[in-house]
Amino acid sequence: MKSDAPLPLPGDGAAPEVLVLARVVAGLRAEIAELKGDGGTTCAPGPSPAPPRAAGVRDDPAGGEGAGAETVQRILDVLSGTAILLTPVRAPSGEVEDFRIDAAAPDAVDVAGRRGADLIGLRVLETYPTVVGTPLWKGYLDTLATGTAYGGEPFTYEEVVAGLPRRSVFSVRATRLGDGLVVSWIRHDDGEREARRLADMQRLGNLGWSVWDLMADTVSWSEQVYAVFDREPAKGPLRLQDLPRHVEPGDAPRMSTAVRRLLEEGEAVDQPFRIAASDGLRHLRLVAEAQKDADGTPVEVHGFFQDLTAQRGTELALMESERSVLVHRGMLQAEHALAARLQDTLLPVPEQSLELAGLCVDVAYVPSDSGLNVGGDWYSAIGLPDESALFVVGDVAGHGLAAVGTMAQLRFTTKGMTITGSALPDVLRRLNALLLHSVSESTGAPVTSGATATMVMARYQPWDRRLNWVRAGHLPPLLVRGGEAGFLPQPQGSLLGAAADSVYGQSVIDLLPGDHLLFYTDGLVEDPGEDIEAGLARLADLTLRLLEDGRGGRLARSLAALHPGHRDDICVLDVHVPGDP
């Protein structure tokens, strides 16, 4: 195999670490080429020739010639792909009784999800006991003894994690490096697992993905889109231009306008519409955005269709039920009841504990005690397709049906745009535009909604414990770490629906074991006649006392319960990273 640069030879003054780098890079290139089957050079069986050594270089038990595991780790840190350094653990007799992982590339991940630095220090047989006696184990020992590179057939490995079996198919390569082994592998079932998860998500959410290639004039639909449209797959997908002809006549003009904006101006759309199906009238929704070329011309459209028939049926049933109440109890009481029922339908369980992306999440939602006014506080805590987690807490200004309707619009639109992969600042920017410019249901023309809302949104990545978060005029999250409580520095972001030129920034924080991160609405800290800073300080002190009393497992519910007689809704979401600090 050719290398990108000449390798140093003895007498060239090359440092030992340079020789180790050359050997590891060359070995990994050969392994990756053979694993991928891309035509890499295949050596004949037999011991691998030792590379040239510079004067003074010795065989180091840590795995590298003239350099230890730290040197190899520095090399692996800059390489892409999966690779680890195994050091043999020998019995007093000199026989290899196990291998220890002494270095690992950042992209290396095992069947249990341990990644990079989490692998270092593990022993092979202690961590993966079913490997013993397999061709893989024998291949390791043979490579260590003879220097012949190992490249076995794909094999199935099963490990029980949290009581559930996880089975994966791997191809493994091993090459000797000094008295150790450099091992790389490919996991063949990743794509299949992700496809299953995506299919399950689409089925459970009754939505399906679509891609329109405008340059090639091709359309791709996921299987669930055909189910949403009640359309035979043999008929193929619909072009965007043809979509208005397949909706109910009353919705066709608005759909035509939305499609034209999308195709001609590249403007993102979130358009409800109805179609006739074999089981009756269906209420659907299209959410799509365009990818543009350098000239700003849309060249590809990504989006999804969602079946909202059941939700719409619930809303219509509630509205029909409340019409009779209007006659007996008056308009104000009927509006309150309808808004409260819609709020209960749209919001998740008011009190619950969740496990998302390795986090313990405690949630509390308590409506106000102010009588007829129903507020617009809301939250969302869901897992995303890439196994990260989304946390959102929002507060719509005002009360009643208008606030609940705006809350529902923000909640569903936020989840839809985040699932499609939109960046968090872009989600806030589009939500701001949504509140500034709604569409009249009677005329289809843009109107100003007049609604405003605050919101804080965060996406947690379990693989590196990193949390990206944004805000729109909302109060700052409270971080409790090491017995101290403090509010996170806030990125730029004004409330939604206030100004068309609002700019939304993003902040990043790495969470640590033992951390508690609290998201909340202003009902938890605001008292009439009191400065907001006093309310925030009270929240920080109260949170520390509750944790000291051992009430961290129900922190959100404990905080909400300590505010009786509140005049505004209270929504609290506690995100806890398990483990000792």
pLDDT of residue 348: 52
170 vs 167: CA distance, rounded Å: 10
103 vs 443: CA distance, rounded Å: 65
Least confident of 24-38, 286-300, 442-456: 24-38
pLDDT of residue 141: 92
H or E stretch at 205: helix 190-205
Instruction: Let me know: does 365 contact 377? Beta carbons within 8 Å.
Output: yes
Nearest to 108 by CA among 118, 122, 97: 118
Instruction: Let me know: does 495 contact 516? Beta carbons within 8 Å.
Output: no
How many CB atoms lie under 10 A from the CB of residue 121? 11
Instruction: Let me know: does 436 contact 447? Beta carbons within 8 Å.
Output: no
What are the two backbone dihedrals, phi and then psi, of residue 94, each rounded to the nearest 5 degrees? 95, -5
Q: pLDDT over 90 for what percent of the chain?
A: 29
Helix, coil or strand: residue 28: helix
E strand residue ranges, 337-493:
351-356, 359-366, 376-383, 389-396, 438-439, 446-447, 453-461, 466-472, 478-481, 484-487
Dig out the tokens for 219 from the structure.
Answer: 């359309």
How many CB atoms lie under 10 A from the CB of residue 330? 10
Least confident of 57-61, 155-159, 249-253, 484-488: 57-61
Helix, coil or strand: residue 183: strand
pLDDT of residue 417: 87
For residue 305, what are the β-bridge partners?
208, 286
**Residue with structure tokens 């990260």?**
388
pLDDT digits (tens, 9 = 90+) for 262-302: 888 888 989 889 989 888 888 888 889 998 888 888 999 98
167 vs 74: CA distance, rounded Å: 31
Over residues 105-121, the mean pLDDT reads: 85
294 vs 474: CA distance, rounded Å: 36
H or E stretch at 281: strand 280-292
pTM attached to this predicted model: 0.43
Dig out the tokens for 542 from the structure.
Answer: 């109260």
Nearest to 396 by CA among 319, 341, 451, 465: 451
N-to-C CA span, the chain: 48
> Which has more confidence, 3 or 321?
321
> Which has more confidence, 284 or 439?
284
pLDDT digits (tens, 9 = 90+) for 339-358: 555 555 555 555 678 899 99
> Which has more confidence, 147 or 580?
147
502 vs 435: CA distance, rounded Å: 12
Radius of gyration, CA atoms only, the chain: 29
pLDDT of residue 442: 53
419 vs 314: CA distance, rounded Å: 24
Dig out the tokens for 72 from the structure.
Answer: 């190899």
106 vs 109: CA distance, rounded Å: 8
